Each structure stands twice: as C-alpha cells, then as structure tokens.
Amino acid sequence: MRKAPAFRRQHSPAPLFRPRDDLGQELQRDGRQHAAARGYGWRWQQARTGYIAKHPLCASCAANGLTSATELVDHIIPHRGDMRLFWERSNWQALCNWCHEHVKKVLEARWDEGEIGDAALRLDRELTEFFG
C-alpha cells in the first residue's frame, strides 16, 4: 500500500534561484519565456489590433460560407519562437476561436507529424472535413 504523501505547504516562498534563458530573461515555471518575452508584448498588441481591423472576419469561416468575427491572429506556420516567422504578416491569418481550436489545432498536429504540408495550414480555403 502506498504511504500518504507528506504534508506540503500550499504556498512555498519564492525560490532564490529562478531559471533564466540565454538572454538572462526569467523563465516561467514550465521553462518558457513570459508572453512578452516571446514577442507577445505591446508591439504585438498594436500589430494584432491593426490586422484585425483590416481583417474583421474569420478567414476560415468566410471561405466556408459562414460569417464570424475575427477573434485572434494566428501564425499560419507555427513560429515556435522564430521572430522572423512571428512578424511576417504573410504568415498571419484572421481566425475565430472556434476555427483556431477545432480546425487549426487539428491541422497543426498533422503538420507536426509530417502528414500535411505548410500550405494546408492556411485556412482561407474550403474545409469540408471540418465544416461538412
């Protein structure tokens, strides 16, 4: 039988040492940089707002006969910290949350497995598999 785990305090004091990346920026507990350090800072908020103003409708829904407001700017090819891909506007697409969660994430998983190519990550096309 397993022994009950030892009692641990819920709120332990902040550690004296915090992991940092190569640039000396503090990392989150999961080892990733904070959102701002990954590029999602003020400059991104400005760029994102401007892009959504120009692309108010979800590109994926629009290509499939639906009308949904843009809720986020998606990086077509995941940037994974590559700042060139991050800021390349031709790598952006306006999506609603539903398309991001239910279409893009599924396709990205297939792309990660090498099952589909880069072009398949663009959602401004007929996607009968998802929109049936």
Q: Which is nearer to Zn ion, 27 or 57 (CB)?
A: 57
Task: Give the shortest CB-128-to-Zn ion separation in angstroms.
Answer: 15
Burial 120-131 (b: 16+ CB within 10 A, else e): ebebbeebeebe
Best CA proximity match to 128, nearest among 65, 55, 54 = 65
Q: Are 85 and 91 in contact (CB under 8 A)?
A: yes
Q: Confirm or reject binding of residue 99 to Zn ion (CB under 5 A).
A: yes
Task: Give the shortest CB-94-to-Zn ion separation in angstroms.
Answer: 9
Stretch that binds Zn ion, among 6-14, 19-27, 29-37, 96-104 (CB under 5 A): 96-104
To 5 degrees, how large is the angle CA 14–CA 25–CA 10? 20
Residues linked to residue 94 through DSSP beta bridges, in sequence order: 73
Of 73, 76, 94, 96, the one binding Zn ion by CB under 5 A: 96
Q: Confirm or reject binding of residue 93 to Zn ion (CB under 5 A).
A: no
- Quick note: the x/- pattern for Zn ion over 14-53, rule CB under 5 A, is ----------------------------------------
Q: Confirm or reject binding of residue 58 to Zn ion (CB under 5 A).
A: yes
Q: Are 64 and 127 in contact (CB under 8 A)?
A: yes
In the complex, the residues that contact Zn ion under the rule CB under 5 A are: 58, 60-61, 68, 96, 99
